[in-house]
Amino acid sequence: MPTSKTSIQILKIASEILATEGLGAVSFDAIARRLGKSKQAVLYWFPNKQDLLAAMFLPWLEAEADIAAASVANASDRDEAIRGFVQRIAKFHLDDLNRFRLMYLLPQTIKPSSETQKDIGLVERVHPVTDKIYGAMAAHLEGNEVSARREAVAIHSSVLGLVLMFGLADSLQDPLKHSENELIEALVSRLSGTSNARSE
C-alpha cells in the first residue's frame, strides 16, 4: 500500500471530501483539484477507485477486527461475549458515521474493472480481516464451526444494521425515538436471549 507524502495527502483529502460532501463527491478529479495537481498525479498512486478505497478503508476494517477480538477476549460465556461485541462494535461505528459509510456503503457503489480483477483484489485483502472479526465471536458461540461462524456473521450484521439506522437518521436529520444505549441494549437482549423485563 502506498505510503508517500503525496499518497497520504490524497487519502486525507478523500476522507475530507467524504466527510463534508458525501460519497458521491469522492472522485479523482475532486481530489486532484484540492491537491493542486493533475488527475494523473492521483492515478499514479491509486490507479483505480478500488485501490483508493482499499487504502482508505482497510486500516479502519483492521481496527474494527482488533476491537472485535478485544471485546470478547475475556468473556466467560456466550452472553458476555455477545454483549461485549455488540457494545464495542456499535460504539466504534456510531462514534464516526462518515467512516462507517466509507467502510460499508461506498464499496457497494464501486464496480471493479477487469484491470482491477487481474491484481490482488480487494476481496482477497478483506477476507483475512473479516475472518478475524467472525472468528473472535464464533469462538464463544455454541455448535460446530460452521454454525458458530454463521451466527457470528448474523450478530455482526445486526450491529451494522443498527448503525445503518442511526446513519440514516443522521443523514435525514430526523433523530430516532430511542437513544443509542437503549437500542444497543435491546439488540444485546435479543441476540443473547436474555429478555429485558423492564418496560420503558
pLDDT in tens, 137-147: 999 998 899 99
Residues of the chain with pLDDT > 70: what percent?
Answer: 86
**Quick one: cell of 116?**
482491477
CATH architecture for residues 48-192: Orthogonal Bundle (1.10)
pLDDT tens for residues 12-52?
Answer: 998 888 778 876 788 899 999 999 999 999 999 998 877 88
Does residue 1 register a pLDDT over 50? no
* CATH code matching the domain that covers 1-46, chosen among 1.10.260.40, 1.10.10.60, 3.90.1150.10, 1.10.357.10: 1.10.10.60
Confidence of residue 136 (pLDDT cuts 50, 70, 90): very high
Q: Is 129 helix (H, G, I), strand (E, B) or coil?
A: helix
pLDDT tens for residues 110-135?
Answer: 666 555 454 556 678 888 999 999 99
Q: Where are the domains of the chain?
A: 1-46, 48-192
Q: How many other C-beta atoms lie within 10 A of the C-beta of residue 162?
A: 21
Main-chain phi, psi angles of 55, to 5 degrees:
-65, -30
45 close to 98: Cβ distance less than 8 angstroms: no
